[in-house]
């Protein structure tokens, strides 16, 4: 692979950051109060919840699957944990254990997804769609009214702020993305995950347990959805049955804008973070401008459409880059043969 090809592939894989810089520059000039420190912190803070869902969706997309259940898991995991802590167990639960329990519930949802998809053979779209409806229905039934006063320990991650009024949720977001970036780039697990989505048959032949990797991807997705639920509950100091509603489609937009592909086998944690931050910036700028709420809703739909189109364009451009490289190699061999 020559230098030019590496540069072209790097640009395609990190196109989201060029878009972010361009969008940020436009808003810096034309959107009132966009450049204020408080607003930048606000963008990061409000992106933290969605970014967990986008990362979870991105991990599943890398394996060539889809997880529609994450928005319901966001509400279901903290709802069950807080019901156990406040009503179902008379003595109550240790607040630290409640946090761990929330993540474990999300992981169990992901495990169920992975089991039915890999062992029973149900299509990931159909299965996770059914679980989205089931979990939302259970949450509506079990939590008809919001659960208030969750306790300072449980709400710390979603509401506390550090020096410079930087939310703990933002620090947690960057920490989780850093860990996932290291895993995807520098560990066998990350390489196996990419191989599972890129070419599952070849991966299986080479010794990768592709079904297990899909299960792990869904467990990670469910766990991250539960973390998003912790942040949402902490932000409002309550658990209600509408948390996360209608967010699942934005997770696709963020993940695909960030470099993941619907066909699987592609994606980086850094790119996925960029996709989530771009969505947060768009939402913030449109709110500052005061755009009509119906136009705002239509804009979100347009974003999803653009994300899908961008995915197709990126695939075609990658194919073109590899095609040109193969032509160059064939010409080099032909010239060498003449000599």
DSSP per-residue string spanning 244-268: TTT-HHHHHHHHHHTT--TTSS---
CB atoms within 10 A of CB 290: 8
Low-confidence ranges of the chain (pLDDT < 50): none
Domains of the chain, earliest start first: 3-338 (1.10.3470)
pLDDT value at position 229? 95
- Residues 218, 196 contacting (CB under 8 angstroms): no
pLDDT value at position 339? 62
CB atoms within 10 A of CB 177: 18
Taking the C-alpha atoms of residue 100 and residue 97, their distance in angstroms, rounded to an integer, is 5
DSSP letter, residue 14: T
3-state secondary structure of 290: coil
Beta bridge partners of residue 238, listed in sequence order: 148
Structure tokens belonging to residue 215: 């299960």
Beta bridge partners of residue 167, listed in sequence order: 161
Structure tokens belonging to residue 222: 């469910």
> pLDDT tens-digit profile of 117-141?
999 999 999 999 999 999 999 999 9
pLDDT value at position 146? 85
How many residues make up the chain in this entry?
Answer: 339
- Residues 102, 77 contacting (CB under 8 angstroms): yes
pLDDT value at position 90? 53
Distance of CA 8 to the CA centre of its chain: 25
pLDDT value at position 39? 93
Taking the C-alpha atoms of residue 214 and residue 63, their distance in angstroms, rounded to an integer, is 6
Taking the C-alpha atoms of residue 249 and residue 261, their distance in angstroms, rounded to an integer, is 15
- Residue 228 class from Cβ within 10 Å (0-12 exposed, 13-18 middle, 19+ buried)? buried
Angle ∠(86,87,90) on CA atoms, nearest 5: 90
- Residues 109, 69 contacting (CB under 8 angstroms): yes
Taking the C-alpha atoms of residue 14 and residue 199, their distance in angstroms, rounded to an integer, is 22
Beta bridge partners of residue 161, listed in sequence order: 167
pLDDT value at position 69? 95
- Residues 75, 230 contacting (CB under 8 angstroms): no
């Amino acid at each position: 692979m020559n230098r030019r090809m590496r540069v072209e592939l790097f640009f395609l894989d990190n196109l989201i950051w060029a878009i972010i810089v361009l969008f940020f520059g436009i808003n810096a000039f034309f959107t009132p109060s966009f450049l204020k420190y408080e607003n930048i912190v606000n963008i990061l803070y409000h992106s933290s919840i969605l970014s967990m869902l986008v990362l979870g969706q991105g991990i599943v997309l890398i394996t060539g699957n889809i997880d529609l259940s994450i928005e319901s898991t966001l509400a279901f995991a903290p709802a069950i944990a807080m019901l156990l802590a406040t009503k179902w167990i008379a003595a109550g639960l240790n607040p630290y254990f409640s946090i761990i329990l929330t993540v474990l519930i999300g992981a169990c949802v992901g495990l169920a997804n992975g089991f039915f998809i890999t062992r029973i053979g149900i299509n990931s779209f159909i299965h996770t769609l059914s679980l989205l409806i089931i979990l939302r229905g259970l949450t509506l039934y079990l939590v008809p009214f919001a659960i208030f006063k969750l306790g300072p320990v449980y709400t710390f991650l979603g509401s506390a702020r550090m020096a410079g009024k930087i939310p703990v949720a933002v620090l947690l977001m960057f920490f989780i993305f850093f860990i996932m970036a290291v895993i995807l780039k520098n560990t066998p697990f990350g390489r196996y995950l990419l191989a599972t989505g890129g070419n599952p048959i070849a991966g299986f032949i080479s010794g990768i347990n592709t079904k297990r990797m899909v299960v792990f991807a869904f467990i990670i997705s469910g766990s991250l959805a539960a973390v998003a639920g912790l942040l949402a509950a902490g932000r409002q100091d309550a658990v209600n049955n509408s948390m996360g509603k209608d967010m699942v489609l934005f997770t696709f937009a963020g993940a695909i804008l960030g470099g993941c592909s619907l066909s699987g086998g592609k994606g980086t944690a850094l790119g996925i973070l960029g996709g989530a931050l771009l969505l947060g910036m768009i939402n913030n700028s449109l709110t500052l401008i005061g755009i009509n709420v119906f136009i705002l809703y239509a804009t979100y739909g347009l974003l999803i459409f653009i994300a899908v189109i961008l995915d197709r364009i990126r695939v075609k451009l990658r194919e073109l880059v590899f095609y040109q490289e193969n032509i160059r190699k064939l010409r080099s061999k032909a010239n060498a043969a003449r000599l």
